[in-house]
Chain A
């Protein structure tokens, strides 16, 4: 049986599960919607992955990343738990070895990562605004009645993109409605929106960063050829979208797990059987002091297996 490593990236919008081999080649990849239920999404992802690789690959390490990385880590018994910025950088420099800039736009966050000689030297992530991320594009596609997959292609058909105010998601929508009512056609409005979002991204997240080639564009939004074209136009450089652009975080997590397992010699992976175990999360407010921390409890069947969220560590460290 082949040795493989599992990477799981649970984000706000999508849950991605990949299996890579010793060389980092992708053996299986999966992109499913989280739909606000991370536990369910992870289970589904693991189940489908197990069906694909069962009997062919032996899982020798697991890494998790994304906003639900800690939750997922206790569920599956992860060897590494890494933030999504590092995970994305690791994957990008693996797939495109001489990458110097990574543009990553996901469901609710967007980031820019600057690499020099394969090492992250700077990064930025949207802080107070999520205009222009995947969720907003989804919403606009739904409002205009076009499937999100067609969004980018339509943008490419535009001859004269309309200027849309892209600073704020809500105002961008008002502006688009206004332009529609003035009589602009759909392609021009969509192309205008793509340009506005790219402008907003470069002016906020990308502000002050030295964007050098090769520029890699990844995350779910990289599927949108309209946004990609808008980036090429704004940056006047080729934009590389890697083969597995929408599961790069998971690939990074798997690569990190591979390296970690090499160092420590074994894995904590609980096996694909975890899909049959009942996991639940609940929370309560600790009234021990003025901080009033919201403590999260993770149950495996009826047993608490992890707690977090408290600042003082009183709950985190209680023997399970």
Chain B
């Protein structure tokens, strides 16, 4: 079977490996581009959100390549993401494609359905459940390697002495991880990627600002959707962190991560209100308590859960005296406008930090007297 999947961050590298190892032909979707977005915008309902449109565009692009099956994740709770798979399927069918979409729902909530889905994928190629489990583990290791490498790049970039040097090395590092097969190779590639990044020429005397990124999962992870925000911030001398990696998302959805984050979110938000709202709130509180300089919230335009979060973040911002910048993204968002807001936000954070430092210096002086 020719199998494909949505394009999100570095995920495709791990998905491709996993599907190939199971004995199928993996079709890696092209990186989202203007064409992807144009296709998605043309065939999606006008008021669907940006992730829906980009993902639809990707599906059309892989359907054109004759893909039989697209595997994607489902969504739970009152967010439109739960409808995505069904609606995407209908649109593909209306366009005359035979491609089927399989939606993997939460293993925790629907274990039987999950097992049925896996059976459907592995039985035609005679792959055993044992092999499935082993390959899943390898795929998981690959995903971990990718996510950890990406996080390291965001920590190193603000120190780079030559603009763009980190990104260059990072892209090479991804190729290393992509080429690795089997547990040992994957782990070795991860270590090599780490070493490569650590060798980027850096200026250790800098004290970069620390900014946490929160928001809806797709626009937070996929650089095409957020106009490469983390790299842009990195090149302005800001170290960024985010909780929402694919690795973390899987952990949160299979383990007790959700409950942990929900604890941070209290008392600001005590309920799941859909999408990643409770995560956005919880993560923002977590970053505030960890002493981050600021938080950027990324939200698809018209996303109801994130609109609710925006209001709550204003309160968190006041309570913790930590600036928050909300960015709504849609197909019309221009890079220039975002750049202006980011620059101003970074100016604000620096001024705040300098003011704090000056106050501390004054205090020390007073004490010395």
Contact = CB atoms under 8 A, between A and B. Distances in A.
A107 to B, nearest CB: 14
A128 interface: yes
Contacts of A120: 344, 347-348, 351
A119 B344 contact: no
Given A121-B352, A123-B348, A317-B164, A83 B33 contact: no
A84 interface: yes
B96 interface: no
A208 B340 contact: no
Given A120-B348, A208-B311, A292-B33, A125 B340 contact: yes
Interface in B315-363: 317, 323, 327-328, 330, 332-333, 336-337, 339-341, 343-345, 347-348, 351-352, 355
Contacts of A67: 336, 340
Interface in A50-92: 67, 82-86
Determine the main DSSP class of B at the interface with A.
helix
Given A83-B340, A86-B344, A128-B332, A121 B323 contact: yes
A288 interface: no
B342 to A, nearest CB: 9
B269 to A, nearest CB: 16
B228 interface: yes
B313 to A, nearest CB: 9
B301 interface: yes
A83 B167 contact: no
A317 B340 CA distance: 22
Given A120-B351, A125-B341, A290 B33 contact: yes
A311 interface: yes
Interface residues of B, number: 33
A129 to B, nearest CB: 10
Given A128-B328, A313-B163, A119 B33 contact: no
A312 interface: yes
A84 B314 CA distance: 23
A121 B314 CA distance: 13
Nearest to B338: A127
Contacts of B330: 128
A109 B167 CA distance: 33
A122 interface: yes
Given A119-B351, A121-B352, A83 B311 contact: no
Contacts of A125: 337, 340-341, 344
Interface string B207-218: 000000000000
A208 B312 CA distance: 10
A119 B228 contact: no
B98 interface: no
Interface string B269-306: 00000000000000000000000000000000100000
Nearest to B317: A122
20 contacts: A82-B343, A83-B340, A83-B344, A83-B347, A85-B347, A109-B337, A120-B351, A122-B317, A122-B323, A122-B348, A125-B341, A127-B337, A128-B328, A128-B330, A290-B31, A290-B32, A311-B228, A312-B167, A313-B163, A317-B164
Interface of A: 67, 82-86, 109, 117, 119-123, 125, 127-128, 208, 289-292, 311-313, 317
Given A119-B351, A290-B30, A312-B164, 8 more contacts: A85-B344, A109-B337, A119-B355, A120-B344, A121-B348, A208-B311, A291-B31, A313-B167
